[in-house]
């Protein structure tokens, strides 16, 4: 999943970013409210972790304004304050959940999983392409009923492709959604991961699902694409 962290304390922001990346998420970071709001408007995120007290524009204002613009990305609000009034303000502005600092990272992860699960349930419980199935909740992947063992990054790559069936996904798009906005598009790491993923998804099967679109990127389809 692609997550935006808006947190002005660099140590806290990097701590959250590192932990979420270890869980396989692509993570962008903004250090003030204006930058966070801009990124939320120009990029599509699966979740936004938003600090309440931010320079330039506070979290409540950011949350309210992105909701007014029709952005429905789930928002987990962070704050050093523990007052009922602050929680009410954040929730009334459109936040989906609330976590008070300091927090245990396991609790943050649990809340992130809950919000992402809720979003996945709204989109579709199980992603399917031909005989390939991916369950976003259990993170199980099956092909022809056989379980498939994927690394964290391979799983994230496959999930992104399965959420965009039949679409040509450029290396830039894949880099931004599966890695983060600072991904180097000149790197060959995406080609390497696609190759590894293809060896697990398509090897020993008559129908290939992962297709290379020369000069354009990759596509997941159960039909041979027009080149």
Residues 28, 37: Cα–Cα separation, whole Å: 12
Give the Cβ contact number of residue 142 at 10 Å.
15
Q: What CATH number belongs to 2-122?
A: 3.40.50.2300
CATH class of 127-220: mainly alpha
3-state secondary structure of 158: helix
Lowest mean pLDDT among 59-68, 105-114, 185-194: 185-194
138 pLDDT more than 80: no
The pTM of the whole model exceeds 0.75: no
**150-175: pLDDT as tens digits:** 988 898 899 999 988 888 988 888 88
> CATH 3.40.50.2300 residue ranges in the chain?
2-122
- Does residue 79 contact residue 51 with C-beta atoms inside 8 Å? yes
**What does pLDDT average to over the chain?**
87
> What confidence score (pLDDT) does residue 93 get?
86
91 is written with which tokens? 């929730």
> CATH 1.10.10.10 residue ranges in the chain?
127-220
**174-221: pLDDT as tens digits:** 887 887 766 776 778 888 999 999 999 998 888 999 999 888 889 999
Residues 77, 36: Cα–Cα separation, whole Å: 13
Q: Cα-flanking dihedrals φ and ψ of residue 9, to 5°?
A: -85, 110
3-state secondary structure of 216: coil
């Amino acid at each position: 999943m692609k997550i935006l962290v808006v947190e002005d304390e660099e140590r806290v922001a990097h701590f959250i970013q590192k932990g979420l990346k270890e869980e396989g998420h692509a993570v962008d970071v903004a250090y003030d409210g204006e930058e966070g709001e801009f990124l939320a408007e120009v990029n599509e995120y699966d979740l936004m972790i938003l600090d309440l007290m931010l320079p330039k524009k506070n979290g409540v204002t950011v949350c309210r304004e992105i909701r007014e613009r029709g952005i429905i990305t789930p928002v987990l609000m962070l704050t050093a304050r523990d007052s009922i009034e602050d929680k009410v303000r954040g929730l009334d502005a459109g936040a989906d959940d609330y976590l008070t600092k300091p927090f245990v990272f396991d609790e943050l992860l649990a809340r992130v999983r809950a919000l992402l699960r809720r979003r996945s349930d709204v989109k579709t419980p199980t992603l399917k392409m031909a005989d390939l199935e991916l369950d976003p909740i259990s993170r199980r992947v099956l092909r022809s009923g056989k379980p498939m063992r994927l690394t964290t990054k391979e799983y994230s790559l496959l999930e992104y492709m399965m959420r965009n069936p039949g679409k040509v996904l450029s290396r830039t798009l894949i880099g931004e959604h599966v890695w983060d906005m600072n991904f180097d598009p000149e790197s060959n790491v995406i080609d390497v991961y696609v190759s590894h993923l293809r060896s697990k998804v398509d090897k020993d099967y008559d129908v290939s699902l992962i297709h290379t679109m020369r000069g354009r990127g990759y596509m997941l389809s159960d039909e041979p694409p027009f080149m």
